[in-house]
């Protein structure tokens, strides 16, 4: 227990320590100032622009920026879909996997371009090495980079005055990849490999079992095929880009994907690092780092509160476990609590911390099965997703989502101090309100309506493994996860059916691109506005009062929109479990 808390404190301290240096570095990158790596990578960057015929000085208005972003993602979809359908004819396929079925390929392609990484497939039994590396891993990089690009464009919207342009998408994309994602991935991949994460192009080896197993039909199994592959390189970006799509089906619970407590620590750190540091970048670019710290503080506070609930609920276990005679007491030899669906090498706290981190951000990698959590413990990851993936959130997308909440907050709070609202010196008027309202509305709409369609149709009902409220939770989690581009599954939902593959893909597309378009529209509108200087009558957006308000707005919107649904899922499940 104490060790668990020390782990969490250590983890958060390391994150907060790294926020400033990395945030500063990213500011240099996006402001196109010397950042150190430009001496080495500058020529590469210029070569890329020449090769692609991009003029980096060519600024774009928000509409052109949006079109460029969408076109780029559409192209990514086509390449990825083609790779999966054609993998049988392509090289680097030692296991000779056939073409991926069309509905699954559609779902997977959408899933990876939207930075969701919802996986209706098992990687080691479906995807060739080529598909994994050239298709999935590439999208892991570029989907993250396009999220960061949109964020940077939004920040420019706040910073620029009377400007018609918000930057150049190709430049933002290239710089995100070249200076941030690729170097960091390299470091993390090497560190992970040092911990035993596998990295090979060889076919799957077989091992002789020490203890042969006799199956139900009487056959004896003496050999095990061990899935391997170029894993470490892909896992690094899976976490850094808050993608979450595991190389193996078991994701970060797999011993070759996440072998040691240190690799676990590194993987969690990699998830949260960039989203956290981008807050600092935001403040720095906006000319007032306090603005960034205020946003980060709001995220950290919500994160800690929900993490505490999750840890508490998992450590406490269930009355059923107690009555079955399980020892739930934490000791030096066992972590106690509800260990169902958790890896013994991670225990309660590192599983709960991983679950909170991966769902607070839109990563979706898992090192334990959320389905097997206690009702309240499992509600934490689900609700974190439903809050709109803004507690750190996806790389780029988390912060621009949080800024939409901040716009909403200043609107209400601004009125209460008797001024028409403004944020960072920009007036928030009906256009911004229209877009920000849609941003808040959209994920709620997609998640709830998606779930409603699933529970009301035979095809949808067939997916849930468990009866009662738990089955409902499984479906609700699925649509929440897809809409908010998290990609983790509660588990217990057999989602590889045309129904789920297509409906979830729609949720992912809507949740990602409509959201992005709306945010870019806000960016364009803000950039064109003049600057309103702050005075004593201006609402401060960097003090503790604002932090409290922002937290309240995020929580209240999340609670008001999802409490009825949660009441029919985890809440009633919990009440039934404790015998009420």
- Per CB under 8 A, residues contacting other proteins are 408, 411-420, 425, 428-430, 432-434, 437-438, 440-441, 444-445, 448-449, 451-453, 455-456, 461, 467-469, 471-472, 530-533, 535-540, 543, 545, 549, 552, 556-557, 559-561, 563-565, 567-568, 571-572, 575-576, 580
- Cα torsion 511, 513, 517, 520: sign: positive
Nearer to other proteins, 167 or 471 (CB): 471
User: Among 463, 549, 536, which residue's Cα sits nearest to residue 499?
Assistant: 463
CB of 487 to other proteins, least distance (A): 22
Contact criterion met (CB below 8 Å) for 290 and 283: yes
Contact criterion met (CB below 8 Å) for 287 and 541: no
CB of 61 to other proteins, least distance (A): 23
Nearer to other proteins, 280 or 562 (CB): 562
User: Among 492, 447, 488, which residue's Cα sits nearest to residue 474?
Assistant: 492
CB of 543 to other proteins, least distance (A): 6
CB of 263 to other proteins, least distance (A): 40
Nearer to other proteins, 235 or 551 (CB): 551
Nearer to other proteins, 327 or 543 (CB): 543
CB of 433 to other proteins, least distance (A): 4
Nearer to other proteins, 321 or 449 (CB): 449
Distance, in Å, from the CA atom of 96 to the CA atom of 277, rounded to the nearest integer, reads 42
Nearer to other proteins, 254 or 574 (CB): 574
Q: Cα-atom radius of gyration of the chain, to the nearest Å? A: 23
CB of 188 to other proteins, least distance (A): 39
Nearer to other proteins, 198 or 436 (CB): 436
CB of 285 to other proteins, least distance (A): 20
Helix (H) or strand (E) holding 176: none
User: Among 515, 491, 518, 392, which residue's Cα sits nearest to residue 114?
Assistant: 515
Tokens of 326: 């399980």
CB of 74 to other proteins, least distance (A): 29
Tokens of 562: 């999802």
**402 to 8, 27, 408, 453: CA distances (angstroms):** 24, 19, 10, 28
Distance, in Å, from the CA atom of 394 to the CA atom of 144, rounded to the nearest integer, reads 8
Please, which residues have CB within 8 angstroms of residue 572's CB and are 6 or more apart in sequence?
A: 469
Nearer to other proteins, 146 or 561 (CB): 561
Burial of 473 (0-12, 13-18, 19+ CB in 10 A): buried
Residue 430 CB neighbour total at 10 angstroms:
8
CB of 69 to other proteins, least distance (A): 25
Please, which residues have CB within 8 angstroms of residue 95's CB and are 6 or more apart in sequence?
A: 128, 203, 204
Nearer to other proteins, 127 or 566 (CB): 566
């Amino acid at each position: 227990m104490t060790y668990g808390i020390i782990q969490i404190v250590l983890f958060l301290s390391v994150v907060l320590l790294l926020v400033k240096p990395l945030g500063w570095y990213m500011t240099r990158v996006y402001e196109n100032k010397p950042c150190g790596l430009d001496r080495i990578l500058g020529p590469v960057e210029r070569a890329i622009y020449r090769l692609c015929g991009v003029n980096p000085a060519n600024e774009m208005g928000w509409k052109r920026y949006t079109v460029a972003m969408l076109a780029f993602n559409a192209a990514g979809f086509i390449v990825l879909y083609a790779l999966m359908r054609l993998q049988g004819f392509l090289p680097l396929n030692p296991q000779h996997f056939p073409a991926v079925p069309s509905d699954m390929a559609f779902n997977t392609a959408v899933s990876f371009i939207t930075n969701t990484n919802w996986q209706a497939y098992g990687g080691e039994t479906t995807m060739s090495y080529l598909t994994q590396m050239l298709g999935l891993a590439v999208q892991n990089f570029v989907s993250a980079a396009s999220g960061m690009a949109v964020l940077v464009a939004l920040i420019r919207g706040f910073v620029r005055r009377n400007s018609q342009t918000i930057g150049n998408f190709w430049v933002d994309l290239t710089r995100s990849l070249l200076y941030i994602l690729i170097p960091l991935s390299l470091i993390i991949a090497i560190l992970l490999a040092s911990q035993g994460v596998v990295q090979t192009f060889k076919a799957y080896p077989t091992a002789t079992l020490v203890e042969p197993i006799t199956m139900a039909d009487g056959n004896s199994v003496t050999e095990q095929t061990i899935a391997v592959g170029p894993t470490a390189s892909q896992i690094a970006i899976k976490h850094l880009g808050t993608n979450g799509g595991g190389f193996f089906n078991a994701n970060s619970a797999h011993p070759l994907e996440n072998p040691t407590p240190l690799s676990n620590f590194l993987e969690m750190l990699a998830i949260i690092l960039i989203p956290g540091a981008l807050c600092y970048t935001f403040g720095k670019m906006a000319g007032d780092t306090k603005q960034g710290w205020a946003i980060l503080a709001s995220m950290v506070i919500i994160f800690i509160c929900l993490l505490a609930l999750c840890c508490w609920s998992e450590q406490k276990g269930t009355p059923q476990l107690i009555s079955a005679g399980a020892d739930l007491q934490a000791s030096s030899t066992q972590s106690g609590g509800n260990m169902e669906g958790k890896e013994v090498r991670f225990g309660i706290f590192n599983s709960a911390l991983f679950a909170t981190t991966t769902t607070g951000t839109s990563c979706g990698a898992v090192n334990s099965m959320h389905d097997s959590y206690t009702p309240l413990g499992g509600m934490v990851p689900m609700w974190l997703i439903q809050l709109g993936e803004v507690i750190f959130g996806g790389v780029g997308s988390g912060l621009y989502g949080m800024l939409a909440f901040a716009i909403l907050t200043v609107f209400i709070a601004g009125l209460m101090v008797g001024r028409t609202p403004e944020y960072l010196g920009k007036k928030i008027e009906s256009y911004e309100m229209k877009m920000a309202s849609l941003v808040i509305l959209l994920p709620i709409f997609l998640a709830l309506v998606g779930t409603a369609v699933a529970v009301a149709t035979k095809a949808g009902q067939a997916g849930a493994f468990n009866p009662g409220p738990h089955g409902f939770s499984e479906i609700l989690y699925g649509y929440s996860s897809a809409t908010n581009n998290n990609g983790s599954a509660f588990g217990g939902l057999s989602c590889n059916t045309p129904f789920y593959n297509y409906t979830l893909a729609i949720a992912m597309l809507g949740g990602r691109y409509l959201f992005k378009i709306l945010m870019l529209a806000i960016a364009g509108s803000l950039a064109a506005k003049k600057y309103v200087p702050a005075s004593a009558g201006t609402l401060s957006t960097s003090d503790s009062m604002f932090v409290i308000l922002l937290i309240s707005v995020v929580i209240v919107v999340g609670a008001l929109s999802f409490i009825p649904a949660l009441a029919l899922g985890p809440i009633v499940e919990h009440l039934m479990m404790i015998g009420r």
